[in-house]
Amino acid sequence: MKTTSRLLLFFIALIGIVACNPEESEPAYLVINKVNVSSNPATQGSNCSNVKDVWVYVDNQYLGTYQLPARIPVLESGNKSVILRAGILENGISATHSAYPLYTADTRTIDFIPGQESIIDTINVAYFPAIQYTWYEDFEKDAIGGGFSLSPEPSNNLAPLATDSIDVFEGVRCLKLKVDGTNYISDIETNGDGYVLYRGKDIYLEMNYKCDHEFTVGLRGMLSNDKRNIPILLFNPSSTWKKTYINLSKFVNSNYDVPKFKVYFYLSTSPGGSEATVYLDNLKLISN
């Protein structure tokens, strides 16, 4: 009786070990090195980008988000439909990974073989053809010819607005904001009476920037008899050029009483304080 009981306990334990340690299938691997973003310079402006990761879907099932370059285990075999989406850091914040909704996806069929790598050196994405370009400024046109679409906000601007032909990101010119202890505020906004931004859309401001002082990017709501400042982000100093994608959607949606918006940039220092400089390039206000 004792022997039978011991054998029974042994088999129960053996079954438990097998259940807790099932033999795992060997994965296939998908290797992706980088992402290329293409654009039509004449209609879509610069193709500069800041893609940080790739969002992977296999047979329409979300597999995960992976920092580039990536070696991704895939527990599949045979021909599978693969969708690859370019990922960004929304608003430049490391905790806000997002598949950029204004870029197309790279879609292809891959034959996965367990234990083997399928290598994609470059995935290719582009802006959707139907993207709405509300405003684009690269500062390459002559200001006299109307290519300069920013101006000082009249009520409180003290520092001059100028382009810079030396310290540029790409092309031959960029925007330069500079304040000092005497002219200690620079508040600039898009020209005209504002833009209609449709609620319920994915609305982004893309830009390249470099600065030695913090500055603010925001929307200015153009009401019938007033203006409403809507600060979006405060940018910290950066000694190198950076590309950022600013999500404006929730700010447009929440200001339901605003018929039109302007984009503004605000830089200031203390009276009698030191100089501060901000460089801007490739400004795009776009939506789907």
Shared domain check, 182 and 122:
no
Rounded-to-integer distance, Cα 274 and Cα 231, Å: 24
Complete DSSP assignment for 36-92: EEE--HHHH--------EEEEEETTEEEEEEESSEEEEE---EEEEEEEEEEEEBTT
**pLDDT tens per residue, range 21-42:** 445 589 999 999 999 999 988 8
Radius of gyration of the chain from its Cα atoms, rounded to whole angstroms: 26
Domain count within the chain: 2
Shared domain check, 165 and 234:
yes
Q: Domain boundary at 126, 158, 174, which?
A: 126
Given a contact cutoff of 8 angstroms between Cβ atoms, the answer to whether 206 and 47 are in contact is: no
| Domain containing residue 151: CATH number | 2.60.120.200
Starting at the edge strand that comes first in sequence, how are the strands of the sheet with 215-222 ordered?
150-152, 185-190, 260-268, 215-222, 227-235
Residue 137, SS3 per DSSP: strand
Give the chain's mean pLDDT. Answer: 88
Shared domain check, 139 and 237:
yes
Given a contact cutoff of 8 angstroms between Cβ atoms, the answer to whether 32 and 73 are in contact is: no
Structure token digits, residue 214 = 């913090």
Does residue 7 lie within any of the structural domains? no
Shared domain check, 113 and 205:
no
Region 5-32: mean pLDDT is: 61
Shared domain check, 86 and 54:
yes
Does residue 90 lie within any of the structural domains? yes
Given a contact cutoff of 8 angstroms between Cβ atoms, the answer to whether 85 and 103 are in contact is: yes
Shared domain check, 138 and 113:
no
Q: Who has greater pLDDT, 167 or 263?
A: 263
| Domain containing residue 88: CATH number | 2.60.40
Residues ≥6 apart with Cβ < 8 Å to 85: 54, 55, 57, 99, 100, 103, 105, 106, 125
Region 247-259: mean pLDDT is: 95
**pLDDT tens per residue, range 38-70:** 998 888 889 999 999 999 999 999 999 999 999
pLDDT-derived band of residue 153, with 50, 70 and 90 as boundaries?
A: confident
Does residue 191 lie within any of the structural domains? yes
Rounded-to-integer distance, Cα 85 and Cα 87, Å: 6
Shared domain check, 181 and 151:
yes
Shared domain check, 195 and 137:
yes
Q: Which residue range(s) make up the domain with 263?
A: 132-287
Shared domain check, 169 and 245:
yes
Region 263-267: mean pLDDT is: 95
Region 154-159: mean pLDDT is: 70
pLDDT-derived band of residue 157, with 50, 70 and 90 as boundaries?
A: low
